[in-house]
Structure 1
Amino acid sequence: MNYETRDTYGIYKTNPLHSDGKGPGPRLMGADTLSGNDVYNRSEENLGDIKEIMLDVANGKISYAVLSFGSFLGVGGKLFAVPWSALTLDTENKRFILDVSKERLQNAPGFDKDDWPDMADETWAKNVHSYYGSQYQDLTIKN
């Protein structure tokens, strides 16, 4: 599935009101249209799909995409919080790219759908970012 097929509001359709003939995508995209999008690696291996987009509400930033990998018809499998900065949008194929092998993803820190980690925990966040080779930024609002 991809963001164009989930676009119920016409975000990605040609819009004659814009000088370039297009809507706001792909630079600005609807979060609901991103859930369910496929994630592949650079070797063209399917790594799963995005189940959730985790927002840091206090800072207005996307922190993680929760990726489902290894399930069969939605049953079983593991969930992985992938730092948003580790994903690249592939507009040609209408999917995301995560630059990890299937084996590396299988060994990544994951969790069960009934036992989510505390994603606001700084130690957890640093470990996840380190695993995927992305830069961790402490977004805690300081008074």
Structure 2
Amino acid sequence: MNYHERDIYGIYNNPQFSPPLMAQGPGPHLMGAETLIGNNVLNHAGQTLGDIKEIMLEVETGRVGYAVLSFSTYFGLGEKLFAVPWKMLKLDPLQKCFVMDLSPERLKNAPGFDKGHWPNMKDVEWEKSLHSFYGSNLN
């Protein structure tokens, strides 16, 4: 499901969201967090990397820290969750999805967790290793 389909307030169904006028409304520069949950994440080759299950906000700063992606390893079995630094995701408003420069094989080797064992996201070492894996800056 994409943000257009999850738009219960009509934010993105306004004619102003048709190219080239998209810059006049709140999207794609400001988007409703609820509408982004469930959006697909693809890589540049069009391969599915998963979908966004949660968006983690840094409450003290107001910044988006991570997107939590779900990736099923085999026919929907063995779901694994991944915290991906938000800055690694780029919105593709034409395909109505997010794009990340990563192969499915690399994602399978990413530091992940299951829904019953979330990492301590405030742990500085966890944060450093995660950003190191994705090649993103901490700030």
Q: CA deviation at 1:76?
A: 3.0
Aligned to 1:2: 2
Equivalent in the alignment of 1:38:
40
The answer to whether 1:83 aligns with 2:96 is: no
* Count of residue pairs the alignment pairs up: 135
Tell me the amino acid that sits aligned with residue 29 of structure 1: M
Describe the superposition over 1:52-85 as per-residue Cα deviations: whole angstroms up to 9, x where unpaired. Answer: 0000011000000000001668653100000000
Q: Is the 8 A contact 1:48 1:70 kept in 2?
A: yes
Call closer, same or farther: CA 1:77–1:23 in 2, change over 3 Å. same
Q: Distance in 2 between matches of 1:8 and 1:68?
A: 23
Structure 1 stretches of 5 or more lacking a match?
Answer: 138-143
Contact preservation (8 Å) 1:15, 1:23: no
After TM superposition, the score normalised by the length of structure 1 is 0.87
Structure 2 counterpart of 1:101: 103
**SS of structure 2 residue aligned to 1:82:** strand
How is 1:121-136 mapped onto 2 (pairs within 5 angstroms)?
A: 121-136=123-138
What pairs with 1:64-75 in structure 2 (closer than 5 Å)?
64-70=66-72
Q: Distance in 2 between matches of 1:92 and 1:65?
A: 21
Q: Indicate conservation of the 8 Å contact 1:90/1:97, yes or no.
A: yes
1:44 Cα shift? 0.6
Equivalent residue, structure 2, for 1:63: 65
Q: Is the 8 A contact 2:22 2:28 kept in 1?
A: no
Provide the C-alpha distance between the structure 2 equivalents of 1:97 and 1:52, rounded to a whole number of angstroms.
Answer: 16
Report the Cα distance in structure 1 between the residues aligned to 2:3 and 2:22, rounded to whole angstroms: 20
1:54 matched residue in structure 2: 56
What 5-or-longer segments of structure 2 have no aligned partner?
none
Normalising by structure 2, we get a TM-score of: 0.90
Change (3 A) 1:10 1:22: farther
Question: What is the root-mean-square deviation in Å for CA atoms of aligned residues?
Answer: 2.0
Pairwise CA distance, 1:12:
1.1
Q: In percent, how many aligned pairs have the same letter?
A: 57
